[in-house]
């Protein structure tokens, strides 16, 4: 039955992109799930389009639509900046909409509702269901709201559990066979290992973790090998967690919500990860409206979130997304998890950061954020801050105690000038 539907819906990539009309909004997927065959076909046919608005999160894959000369064909709208679209956002060519990750399903359905959706999925199983593969994120909301849903069914996409769609709910099908983009773990240096060790010291056995990717979170994961009975409820699951599962450290036994399973909304890693999660019943990939909802996160007792940030001022205000007033990344799920962990029984949120940048010339702990800087996590939300010099707990602390605690974990070369700047602006410490 569904096999007939499948045959009827199957078209070529070039036929598929001919469905795009001038002025349409085209949503192309996100991260490693951007539908590559369809994006390539759209770019190949660019001369057919005027003012097509492309929507995505962190784009990985072909991005020629951002290059000079594309302005008449494509506009661009994103909810997260990466290396590819940063310049376009900051010169105003691309639009950036700030949003909590948990809320992006709602924005996808409403403010950024697509005319045409590209969605990358696995081929159907015996009953006609395609798995969402390496991400759930906002796929369901996007498919429910887009006028035309074009699926790229990639036979190299891992078949994951938790989220799926039936062939009958797709409008058109394009087949492909392409390796999934790999994201090798970031190499951790000595400083990252020190930060990781301090993070690990704050984590009790039996905790449930949300850990991002990047050098510091990956280092923290390496330091957890001596722990027991950890669980995972996260946004983005990478290779580091697989090592902990194989070592028996992560077993999800003590989770108070969804015990026995790792819950995430995205996978990003190497082929080893993608092979590991393929038809693995110990993993579920669920919509971000679920994984990142602070009300859900808080139902995990002893929930620990570990995220990175770019800058923190002496009041405790955290900038995780802008550099010199320019959008560098996005809000992502940091605030979702900081809030959820705060409301969890025994929960803790940790923001981990190298004390310096620019080869040690600049402190990431600053007296004040520069004008035009975005406060991602407010001083009232922030709890633990970790650098290679230790941790500062800010929740429940006065302005004076916060400043002192933050200065104590700043690089020693900057402590005196931070104290001086604070005392000049506020009062004696």
Among all residues, which ones are annotated catalytic?
Answer: 235
Q: Which of 116-124, 199-207, 300-308, 312-320 is the region at the interface with another protein (rule: CB under 8 A)? A: 312-320
Which of residues 95 and 171 has its CB atom nearest to another protein in the complex? Answer: 95
Taking residues 60 to 99 in sequence order and writing x for each that binds another protein by CB under 8 A, - otherwise, the string is: -----------------x-----------xxxx--xxxxx
Q: Least CB distance from residue 216 to another protein, whole Å?
A: 23
Which of residues 261 and 379 has its CB atom nearest to another protein in the complex? Answer: 379
Q: Which of residues 363-382 bind another protein (CB under 8 A)?
A: 368-372, 374-380
**In whole angstroms, how far apart are CA 411 and each of 191, 244, 366, 400, 408?**
12, 31, 11, 19, 8
* Structure tokens belonging to residue 68: 């000079």
* Structure tokens belonging to residue 283: 């993993």
Taking residues 410 to 429 in sequence order and writing x for each that binds another protein by CB under 8 A, - otherwise, the string is: ---------------xxxx-
Question: How long, in residues, is the chain?
Answer: 429
Q: Which of residues 205-234 bind another protein (CB under 8 A)?
A: none
Residue 159's SS3 state is: coil
H/E element, 172: strand 172-176
* Structure tokens belonging to residue 276: 């590991």
Q: Which of 327, 329, 349, 387 binds another protein (CB under 8 A)?
A: 327
| Count of residues near another protein by CB under 8 A | 54
Work out whether 173 is an interface residue with another protein (CB under 8 A): no
H/E element, 40: helix 36-44
* Structure tokens belonging to residue 197: 């060790």
Q: Which of 43, 107, 186, 323 binds another protein (CB under 8 A)?
A: 107
End-to-end CA distance of the chain: 74
* Structure tokens belonging to residue 391: 């941790």
**Of residues 392, 389, 409, the one with CA closest to residue 191:** 389
CA distance 267 to 236: 6
Q: Which of 146, 198, 273, 315 binds another protein (CB under 8 A)?
A: 315
What does the binding site for another protein look like in residue numbers (CB under 8 A)? 77, 89-92, 95-100, 103, 106-107, 110-112, 293-295, 298, 315-317, 325, 327, 331, 335, 339, 342-343, 368-372, 374-380, 395-401, 425-428
């Amino acid at each position: 039955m569904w096999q007939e539907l499948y045959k009827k819906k199957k078209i070529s990539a070039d036929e598929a992109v001919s469905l795009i009309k001038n002025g349409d909004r085209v949503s192309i997927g996100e991260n490693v799930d951007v539908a590559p065959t369809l994006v390539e076909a759209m770019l190949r046919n660019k001369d057919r389009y005027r003012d097509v608005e492309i929507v995505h999160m962190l784009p990985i894959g072909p991005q020629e639509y951002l290059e000079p000369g594309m302005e008449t064909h494509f506009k661009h709208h994103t909810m997260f900046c990466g290396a590819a679209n940063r310049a376009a956002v900051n010169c105003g060519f691309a639009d950036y909409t700030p949003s909590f990750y948990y809320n992006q399903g709602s924005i996808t359905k409403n403010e950024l509702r697509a005319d045409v959706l590209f969605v990358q999925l696995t081929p159907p199983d015996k009953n006609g269901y395609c798995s969402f593969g390496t991400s759930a994120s906002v796929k369901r909301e996007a498919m429910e709201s887009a006028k035309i849903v074009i699926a790229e069914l990639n036979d190299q996409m891992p078949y994951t559990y938790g989220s799926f769609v039936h062939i009958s709910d797709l409008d058109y099908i394009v087949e492909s066979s392409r390796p999934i983009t790999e994201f090798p773990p970031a190499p951790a240096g000595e400083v990252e290992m020190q930060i990781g060790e301090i993070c690990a010291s704050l984590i009790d056995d039996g905790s449930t973790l949300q850990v991002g990717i990047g050098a510091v979170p990956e280092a923290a994961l390496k330091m957890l090998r001596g722990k027991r009975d950890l669980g995972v409820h996260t946004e983005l699951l990478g290779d580091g967690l697989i090592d902990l599962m194989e070592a028996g450290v992560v077993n999800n036994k003590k989770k108070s919500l969804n015990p026995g399973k790792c819950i995430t909304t995205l996978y990003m890693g190497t082929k080893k990860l993608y092979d590991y999660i393929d038809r693995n019943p110990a993993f579920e990939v669920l919509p971000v409206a679920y994984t990142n909802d602070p009300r859900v996160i808080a139902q995990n007792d002893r929930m620990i979130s570990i995220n990175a940030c770019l800058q923190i001022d002496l009041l405790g205000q955290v900038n995780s997304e802008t550099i010199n007033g320019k959008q560098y990344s996005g809000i992502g799920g940091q605030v979702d998890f900081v809030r959820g962990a705060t409301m969890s029984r025994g929960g803790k949120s940790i923001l981990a950061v190298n004390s310096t940048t620019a080869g040690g010339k600049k402190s990431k702990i600053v007296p004040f954020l520069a004008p035009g800087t975005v406060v991602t996590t407010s001083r009232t939300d922030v709890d633990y801050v970790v650098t290679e010099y230790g941790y500062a707990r800010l929740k429940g602390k006065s302005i004076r105690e916060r400043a002192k605690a933050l200065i104590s974990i700043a690089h020693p070369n900057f402590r005196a000038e931070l104290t001086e700047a604070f005392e000049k602006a506020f009062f004696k410490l």
